[in-house]
Structure 1
Amino acid sequence: HGLIQAFSRTNRVLNAAKPYGHILDFRGQQGKVDEAITMFSGVRAEQAKEIWLVDKAPVVIEQLKAAKKELDDFLQSQGLDPRPEAVPNLKGDDARAAFVKQFKEVQRLATQLDQYTDLTDEQKQEIEQTLPRDDARAFRGVYLETAKRLKAKQDKTGGDTPGFDGQVCEPPGEYGSDAIDQLDFEFVLFASADIDYDYIMNLIARFSGQTPSQQEMSREQLIRLIRSDAKFMDELDEITEYVRTLETGQPLTEDEVRGGYQRFKDQRHAAELAAVADKHGLTNEALQTFVDAILDRMIFDGEQLTDLMEPLGLSWRERREKELELMDKLVPLLKKRAAGRTISGLNAYEQ
């Protein structure tokens, strides 16, 4: 019992920074491990191993090859080259959901192989040939972008679902609306324990100091790395655009990068809010005050929304319609700025 508890607690998932654990060595006590697994499962020893122990690396490598071939075959069946840059050209939610399901399996197997500490050089080369590192990062990036959009649709209920560019999507098929509702995106598979916010800020600072003759990482490689990690999914556009504004050969310290990125985000947020205010006939100051009050308390107050709309002089029916139109634009902005925290009362406008 104690041995199984030790394994379970070591391997317990905590968050995006700990999607798995490492059990460094149990071969020296193989007999006790077999006995504990058999006792815990209540079945024969060999059957218990099949239930509790993962496949050996060569088996998983073959599974990875098969999963990658299925992904390639699927993209080719859609008239596309089996390359990451082709994925945005998929037509319809059927195809996008199919890509999500198929690449998630590829990533699951790749993540599993990352945990093997005794891979031979030949096995590592075999994995690299099957899924080159640059391709893997690029595929993860387009996966996260596609999954993020599908999840936004998944979070909405009822009515026709608009497509990525505003069109009404096709009727549900094998991977249509019903399948989207059932998708589990498993974003934890796409969050590296080695890459965090501090690491990215340091990497951007190093990039800014590069000259063409000493370039370690191109701008596109840096962007691809950032976009391949689920931890940055909620600010992919901001951090990508910020990196595109930087000039190489003009070194920045890590603190300067942090400050510059924060100013860039503040300016972008202010511009987004000003556009919403202008569209709905509100002043920038009034809308900014309304949003700041929500984020300060993390509570949505319906009475404050009524006060915000009062200067427009609308009837109650008109005001209600305008409130719904306004909140349809504000909810995504509020959720992004809340950075994963829950805003109490906002769910009334998320349907």
Structure 2
Amino acid sequence: MVDTKDEDIDDEMVWDINREKAMMAPQRIKLVTKYILEHFDQKTYRGDKTYIYNTLTNISQVAFGKNGAVEEIKQKQRVSGFNSIFAVASVPMAKLYYQEFKKQMAKDPTKKLRIATIFSYGANEEESDGILDEENSEDTSALDQSSRDFLEAAIKDYNEMFHTNYSTDSDKFQNYYKDVSLRMKNKELDLLIVVNMFLTGFDATTLNTLWVDKNLKMHGLIQAFSRTNRILNSIKTFGNIVCFRNLQKRVDTAISLFGDKNAGGIVLMKGFKDYYYGYEGIDGKQMPGYADMMEELEEKFPLSEPQIVGEQNQKDFISLFGAILRMRNLLSSFDEFVGKELITEHDLRDYLSRYQDLHDEWKRKREQGESTDIIDDIVFEVELIKQIEINIDYILMLVKKYHDTHCEDNEMLITITKAIDASPELRSKKELIENFIAGINDVEDVMKEWHDYVAEKREEELVQIIKEEKLKEPETRKFLENAFRDGEIKTAGTDIDKLMPPVSRFGGRNRAVKKQGIIDKLKLFFEKFFGVGGSFTTEKPKFFNYADAMAQQSVLMVAEDSATHGTKKDAE
């Protein structure tokens, strides 16, 4: 899969011609495609790691608009994983890969990806000066008829996928280019096959992987590799470059030639063994690996000890476990990590529970203004905790098992409590879940009963808040509908004022105190009911029975298999 031919041969031009015939061999195209489909979820964290992202809701209108003529409408949504670009050597190779992806995905629906391709002419595989030519995003006239017919068919697939109406005609192709760009940034496309397009000047924070089956060098290599260097959050702290050709010499040359300034923050990551077993740093200091960290965790903070006593011990645990979470996040992109996690799912949940307990404790200390020497030094990896998430569906599955034992399995109750405590998302819902469990003895359908229970409690508590605070009911319901849609309570602006009683009832500082009290109550309400029982509605219901709208998340990180040569990079 990876070409290891020495690139310093004499007659490189002749060799390139013969090499490309081999590179486009059907069996090779098949194997590379198979590898990408099998490892896509691992490299991009699809179906595994979720985060809140500001998505564009009117892509087609914006794509057809002229120079910002159409206002972009965005809303916050929880999305899973990232997306990728596949850079190939030529238009004929793009055609072969696109067809092979369609063929393999048709045979195995579990490997289904949203794929598109775009190109505007038969670009050379590489430029002699290492600078990638910009493909024309407005004109496909340079394409031969065969390539244009193929692109027309690929755009037809795209139109069916997104209910659009693009083609290779000049004006429609320009809009297609814009649409593809926006959907890549919106993470609506999983993989985009390109020749040169989108390898220069395109930035998308959701893009974390570049698959490469073309020769790149010098400035062009730096440009292409930089596509994945936009840091988004603590989950995406680096980009993946998966090469199906041996570009190591060219990478080293480009990095040394251009240096940090022009390399855009590209830093080659070390190998799996270095991160797993440790390595020697630049200053000669020995850097601990994942195995060392796990050994220290078990020795200093065994689960057999009921709690961690003493501020310094707690600080040491927080620091160590946070480092483990960061290292797991990094190692999960390596194929070799599968089966080498050195911890069971059960024990990981227990450690997460302890970590979350300390997070809540230190948060309370900060809010109460307690003076200690270490509070300001405490840094919790909250986003990374959420990636090893226990979602409500998992909890309900455990509840159902408990119910099936006629509510007599106390060990299952302990498991449920630990699972809730390990999740920052579910702690605010703990009372809701526990009260539900206490009353399920006689129910027939646990899942249906849960949705009915949540809907009833949500309406009951909302009515109580409106009554106690004398809020305007229609405006309050609309405000919360928007909050549940956007994934947050927005307190800036005048939205809260619109819910409050007339100004004449309060004056000056009293009104500010009243407003903050309302905000606090609405936040608690939101945290308790967000993500457990479907979307909110402005209508005052007699009865709710929503399907659970939470996106499915893995209980633990996805295990990976196989191996390939790849170059991974950190970014600023």
Name the TM-score, length of structure 2 as normaliser: 0.38
Q: CA deviation at 1:30?
A: 2.4
What is the CA RMSD across the aligned residues, in angstroms?
Answer: 5.1
Paired amino acid for 1:67:
M
Larger radius of gyration: 2
Paired amino acid for 1:286:
K
Q: CA deviation at 1:104?
A: 0.5
Inter-CA distance 69–226: structure 2 relative to 1 (3 Å threshold): same
Contact 1:17 1:191 in 2 (8 A): no
Is 2:453 the partner of 1:263? yes
Paired amino acid for 1:186:
E
Name the TM-score, length of structure 1 as normaliser: 0.57
Q: Structure 1, residues 11-33: CA drift from partner, whole Å, max 9, x if none? A: 65556886765444456332223
Is 2:251 the partner of 1:29? no
Q: Structure 1, residues 219-249: CA drift from partner, whole Å, max 9, x if none? A: 554564565455x357452675377458599
- SS of 2:324's equivalent? helix
Q: Structure 1, residues 109-137: CA drift from partner, whole Å, max 9, x if none? A: 2332322202486xx2xx42xx4432222
Q: CA deviation at 1:263?
A: 3.4
Partner of residue 470, structure 2: 286
Partner of residue 192, structure 1: 387
More helix by share: 1
Inter-CA distance 65–263: structure 2 relative to 1 (3 Å threshold): same
Inter-CA distance 109–287: structure 2 relative to 1 (3 Å threshold): same
Q: CA deviation at 1:150?
A: 3.6
Q: Which has the higher contact order (CA 8 A, sep 6+)?
A: 2
Inter-CA distance 324–304: structure 2 relative to 1 (3 Å threshold): closer
Higher alpha-carbon deviation: 201-210 or 55-64: 201-210
Instruction: Show the 5 A alignment for 1:22-101.
Output: 22-25=240-243, 28-41=246-259, 51-57=267-273, 59-62=275-278, 63-68=289-294, 70-71=296-297, 75=301, 82-83=302-303, 86-87=306-307, 90=309, 96-101=314-319
Q: Structure 1, residues 31-79: CA drift from partner, whole Å, max 9, x if none? A: 2233333334359xxxx99x5213432542452344345556765xxxx
Contact 2:470 2:500 in 1 (8 A): no
Instruction: Show the 5 A alignment for 1:308-319.
Output: 310=505, 319=510
Paired amino acid for 1:201:
D
Partner of residue 349, structure 1: none
Inter-CA distance 327–106: structure 2 relative to 1 (3 Å threshold): same
Partner of residue 295, structure 1: 480
CA distance in 1, matches of 2:414, 2:224: 43
Taking only the aligned residue pairs, the percentage that are identical comes to 19
Q: CA deviation at 1:322?
A: 6.5
Inter-CA distance 227–273: structure 2 relative to 1 (3 Å threshold): farther
CA distance in 2, matches of 1:265, 1:334: 13
Which of 366, 371, 393 matches 1:201? 393
CA distance in 2, matches of 1:18, 1:58: 20
Q: CA deviation at 1:172?
A: 1.8
Listed as ranges, the gaps of 5+ residues in structure 1 are 76-81, 162-168, 341-351
Contact 2:272 2:336 in 1 (8 A): no
Partner of residue 514, structure 2: 323
CA distance in 1, matches of 2:423, 2:238: 16
Paired amino acid for 1:111:
N
CA distance in 2, matches of 1:19, 1:266: 42
Q: CA deviation at 1:291?
A: 4.8
- SS of 2:246's equivalent? helix
**How many pairs were matched up?**
285
